[in-house]
Amino acid sequence: MTDRYQDFASTSLGRMLVKSLGLPDPVRLDRYVAGSPLVDGIVVVGGTGRLADQVPAILDRLGVTRTDAPEEGARYRGLVFDATGLRDPGSLVALRDFFGPLMRSLDRCARLVVVGTPPERLQGAERVAQRALEGFTRSLGKEVGRGGTAQLVYVAEGAEGAVGSTVGFLLSPKSAYVSGQVIRVGARVLQPAEEPDWRRPLVGKVALVTGAARGIGEQISRVLARDGATVVGVDVPQAASDLIGLARQLDGDYLTLDITAKDAPKRIAQHLTASHGGVDVVVHNAGITRDRRLANLDPERWRSVLDVNLVAPERITDELLAQQVVHANGRIVGVASIAGIAGNLGQTSYATSKAGVIGLVDALRDTLDRDITVNAVAPGFIETAMTAAMPFGPREVGRRLNSLSQGGLPVDVAETVAWFADPASTAVTGNVVRVCGQMLLGA
């Protein structure tokens, strides 16, 4: 649905009022358009650490213009700072020295990325310094303004060669609604990442998307197909006509079933094996809400939410892994929610199910083999039929209470899923990345 406040704020009268009254300023976010360069503008690279050679090499490979000598009067689209060399709190001033003078030279929708070492692997002063990066980056996300974002990427030692897809995603408009996130790369032993063409990284891959007929699932299907995947969409029989229409448009395939049915995991596994020889990317997107305060929540509502959102993804994943339907370097992606992190009034069942999705990521990440990864997105306020149905007050609050002062779009969730799905993201596992514009709720 349209955001009327955003429409008004982009008129000349609206701009004047926003500025003089200090109102939220929901800048129109740049989003990736197929065929465009990954980054439209210059990226400044700074810092001295383990990735000092890697980051420039990644940018060159992705065709991104870069400099390590910013000039007065120039405008910059992105800043990347390698902070892995900061070994004690005193050295953190390097963050100020790099970012401070550049903050007024940023294009709109700028992308700021800090790279660090996972503190849990360090000791003493170095651990303190690396942990401190989180507060810096999250504040940067709140200060950058004009549609800009900031993220921290903790890269484990040995994973320096496996950060390309992550740096590319975070510098590009694909991460329009992702901000203030702490992302871990290389949490477990890894093989060298595949390096496909970033424009079509999923060519030759098969992707299963549940709840594909509409909303976020439809966009996930479109983006994965844009990136080259053959998409197999799953949805309930009642949604068959939308699902079949989408499958035709995307030159993909479909399966109509209720994912909570007893035989659903077997049917999905059989279909993927018989028609596609297996699957590379599994996206558990189908989800429902049956909101009621706990005092009014009947067992049936509780059960249906838990069954669709948590039990079904768990059963389907188990079956696909047990039958080895998921190929090596496969991807399992859950769709959690900000409610699963912060909790929400009237959503005990939903929040339980979505926190459980995060639990699935935690439970699987150390047990998966053959370079199969598991991650989840946790969307915040996304403009869909679900949020359009909210009463005006909570809807406006949900939209504005984030660093970008607006709701996200289904495509923002889809692009994040596509980054997880990228064959080059082998080292990206165990993450729960919020697609929430740095919402004020939750950790």
Catalytic sites, residue numbers:
350
Distance of closest approach, residue 228 Cβ to ligand NAD, in angstroms = 23
Q: Which residues contact 114 (CB under 8 A, 6 or more apart)?
A: 81, 83, 95, 133, 136, 137, 140, 150, 151, 152, 153
Residue in 130, 221, 384, 431 binding ligand NAD, rule: CB under 6 A: 384
Among residues 171 and 234, whose Cβ is nearest to ligand NAD?
234
Q: Per CB under 6 A, does 441 bind ligand NAD? A: no
Q: Per CB under 6 A, does 337 bind ligand NAD? A: yes
Q: Which residues contact 412 (CB under 8 A, 6 or more apart)?
A: 31, 176, 177, 178, 382, 435
Distance of closest approach, residue 133 Cβ to ligand NAD, in angstroms = 27
With b for 16 or more beta-carbon neighbours within 10 A and e for fewer, the 405-418 pattern comes to: bbbbbbbbbbbbbb
Q: Per CB under 6 A, does 175 bind ligand NAD? A: no
Among residue numbers 285 through 314, which ones bind ligand NAD (CB under 6 A)? 285-288, 308
Which secondary-structure segment (H or E) carries 19? helix 12-21
Q: Per CB under 6 A, does 171 bind ligand NAD? A: no
Enumerate the H helices of 187-332 as residue ranges.
Answer: 215-226, 240-249, 264-276, 299-306, 312-322
DSSP for residue 24 = -
Residue in 39, 55, 153, 216 binding ligand NAD, rule: CB under 6 A: 216
Q: Per CB under 6 A, does 252 bind ligand NAD? A: no
Q: Do the beta carbons of residue 148 and residue 110 sit within 8 Å?
A: yes
Distance of closest approach, residue 288 Cβ to ligand NAD, in angstroms = 5
Q: Per CB under 6 A, does 236 bind ligand NAD? A: yes
Among residues 133 and 411, whose Cβ is nearest to ligand NAD?
411
Which of 205, 216, 208 is CA-nearest to residue 233? 208
Among residues 239 and 404, whose Cβ is nearest to ligand NAD?
239
Q: Per CB under 6 A, does 317 bind ligand NAD? A: no
Phi and psi, residue 141, nearest 5°: -60, -35
Distance of closest approach, residue 160 Cβ to ligand NAD, in angstroms = 33
Residue in 171, 247, 335, 374 binding ligand NAD, rule: CB under 6 A: 335
Give the per-residue contact string, 176-215, with ligand NAD (x = CB under 6 A; - = no).
----------------------------------xx-xxx
**Count of residues touching ligand NAD (by CB under 6 A):** 28
Q: Per CB under 6 A, does 348 bind ligand NAD? A: no
Distance of closest approach, residue 283 Cβ to ligand NAD, in angstroms = 10
Q: Per CB under 6 A, does 239 bind ligand NAD? A: yes
DSSP for residue 92 = G
The three-class DSSP label of residue 53 is: coil
Task: Kindly indicate which of the ranges 144-152, 222-230, 315-323, 384-392 contains the residues binding ligand NAD, using the contact rule CB under 6 A.
Answer: 384-392
Distance of closest approach, residue 28 Cβ to ligand NAD, in angstroms = 19
Q: Per CB under 6 A, does 437 bind ligand NAD? A: no
Among residues 140 and 376, whose Cβ is nearest to ligand NAD?
376
For the record, the structure tokens of 151 come out as: 């993220």
Distance of closest approach, residue 326 Cβ to ligand NAD, in angstroms = 19
Q: Do the beta carbons of residue 228 and residue 202 sit within 8 Å?
A: yes
Residue in 385, 389, 393, 443 binding ligand NAD, rule: CB under 6 A: 385
Q: Which amino acid is at 417?
A: V
Strands 181-185 and 149-155: parallel
d(CA 275, CA 92): 54
Q: Do the beta carbons of residue 420 and residue 174 sit within 8 Å?
A: no
Q: Which amino acid is at 51?
A: L
Give the per-residue contact string, 386-415, with ligand NAD (x = CB under 6 A; - = no).
xx----------------------------
Residue in 25, 235, 371, 422 binding ligand NAD, rule: CB under 6 A: 235
Which secondary-structure segment (H or E) carries 243? helix 240-249
DSSP for residue 50 = T
CA angle 46, 87, 178 (to 5 degrees): 50
Q: Which residues contact 305 (CB under 8 A, 6 or more apart)?
A: 288, 289, 290, 349, 350, 353
- Residue 343 backbone class (left: φ over 0; alpha: ψ -120 to 50; beta: rest): left
Distance of closest approach, residue 333 Cβ to ligand NAD, in angstroms = 11
Where does this chain bind ligand NAD (CB under 6 A)? 210-211, 213-217, 234-236, 239, 258-260, 285-288, 308, 335, 337, 379, 381-382, 384-387
